[in-house]
Amino acid sequence: MKIAVIGSGISGNSAAWALSRKHAVTIFEQDDRAGGHSATVDVDYDGVTIPVDTGFIVYNEGNYPLLTRLFDQLGVQTELTEMSFSVSLNAGRFEWCGRTLKTVFAQKRNLFSPGFLMMLGDILRFNSKAKQDLEAGVLCGLTFGDYMDRRGFSRRLRDDYIVPLTAAIWSTPAAKMLEFPAESLIRFLDNHRLIHMQRPWWRTVTGGSREYVSRLLADFDGEVLLSTPVRRVRRDNGKVQITDATGQEREFDGVVVATHSDQALALLDDANGEERDV
């Protein structure tokens, strides 16, 4: 079969890599490089070149068993890394880090700050209550801001811990985090044990995430079309017609749309009800 894969992030690249064993696969990527969120930048620090990941940074074996298996199969080297939380607000006037007791009170004045001490207690209360409310199924339809208000959590907890934490994870402006669906956000925190005392061991790709992208593509037996954004996907008598930004149309037997859901819906020329719901 001739199969098109739209998007070269981890979903698209891994699907293309697996399908290329038995099929003729073409990857369409709108950017001038493959990898999606897996992007590594070389930074010179005191004469030493350090690969810095700017998108996909860490994973753990418990939450990402298939990714772990893929790395093993490709021979991708990984190493243990630190996954801690720190925040600096108001040009450094307020700072703290959750790694150790010493870093929690990196600013000694916080030892005597009732608001800061209350926030630490609120973190424990939030962790416990969020897990209970998730299990009870009472989060449906609530934004995260609504949930924080209904449970009476403090402004300090919201502004100095939860919002900076989640905004960093989702690379989202802090003001937008309160609009997130509470159920989805808290389920993520629970699944990744960020509201548990026992945290997972986090790992990172040695040399940067570009290493696994290059290994995937080196072992991919197909065509990669960079700088080729797709504009339309159309069903046609059991086939799929793919139109790119230049207007060129190509025919395939099937397509894997490995983009964000809103992007995927915009591409589908004849989306059905089920596809719109997803």
Domain of 50 in residue numbering reads as 2-79+206-277
How far is it, in rounded angstroms, from Cα 158 to Cα 178? Answer: 9
Q: How confident is the model at residue 275 (pLDDT cuts 50, 70, 90)?
A: confident
Backbone φ and ψ of 229, nearest 5°: -70, 140
Q: Is residue 87 part of a domain?
A: no
Q: Which of 159, 191, 223 is the last residue of a domain?
A: 191
Q: How many domains does the chain have?
A: 2
Kindly state whether residues 73 and 210 are assigned to the same domain. Answer: yes
Q: Is residue 197 part of a domain?
A: no
Which pLDDT value is given to residue 273? 84
Q: Which of 142, 162, 191 is the last residue of a domain?
A: 191
Above 80 in pLDDT, residue 45? yes
Kindly state whether residues 184 and 220 are assigned to the same domain. Answer: no
Kindly state whether residues 228 and 187 are assigned to the same domain. Answer: no
pLDDT tens readout for residues 100-154: 999 999 999 999 999 999 999 999 999 999 999 999 999 999 999 999 999 999 9
Q: Is residue 200 part of a domain?
A: no
Kindly state whether residues 226 and 258 are assigned to the same domain. Answer: yes
- Mean pLDDT over 247-267 rounds to 96
Q: Is residue 159 part of a domain?
A: yes
Kindly state whether residues 113 and 71 are assigned to the same domain. Answer: no
| CB distance 210 to 39 below 8 Å | yes
The neighbour count for residue 123, using CB atoms within 10 Å, is 19
Above 90 in pLDDT, residue 203? yes
Q: Is residue 199 part of a domain?
A: no
Which pLDDT value is given to residue 35? 96
Residue carrying the six token digits 């607000």:
89
Which pLDDT value is given to residue 277? 81
Kindly state whether residues 147 and 216 are assigned to the same domain. Answer: no
pLDDT tens readout for residues 155-189: 999 999 999 999 998 888 988 999 999 999 999 99
Kindly state whether residues 187 and 233 are assigned to the same domain. Answer: no
Kindly state whether residues 15 and 152 are assigned to the same domain. Answer: no
Q: How confident is the model at residue 270 (pLDDT cuts 50, 70, 90)?
A: confident
Q: Is residue 210 part of a domain?
A: yes
Percent share of the chain, pLDDT over 90: 90
List, edge to edge, every strand of the sheet that includes 249-252: 230-236, 239-244, 249-252
Q: How confident is the model at residue 197 (pLDDT cuts 50, 70, 90)?
A: confident
Q: Is residue 49 part of a domain?
A: yes
Q: Which of 168, 191, 214 is the last residue of a domain?
A: 191
Give Rg (Cα) of the chain. 22
Q: Which of 215, 189, 216 is nearest to 20 (CA)?
A: 216
pTM comes to 0.85
- The angle, 0 to 180 degrees and rounded to 10, between the axes of the packed helices 163-170 and 182-191 is 80
How far is it, in rounded angstroms, from Cα 25 to Cα 27? Answer: 7
Kindly state whether residues 121 and 174 are assigned to the same domain. Answer: yes
Kindly state whether residues 214 and 138 are assigned to the same domain. Answer: no
Kindly state whether residues 225 and 162 are assigned to the same domain. Answer: no
The CATH number covering residue 240 comes to: 3.50.50.60
| CB distance 7 to 36 below 8 Å | yes
pLDDT tens readout for residues 48-80: 999 999 889 999 999 999 999 999 999 999 999
Taking all residues of the chain, what is their mean pLDDT, rounded to a whole number? 95
Q: Is residue 196 part of a domain?
A: no
Which pLDDT value is given to residue 198? 86
How far is it, in rounded angstroms, from Cα 192 to Cα 276? Answer: 29
Above 80 in pLDDT, residue 278? no
Kindly state whether residues 172 and 210 are assigned to the same domain. Answer: no
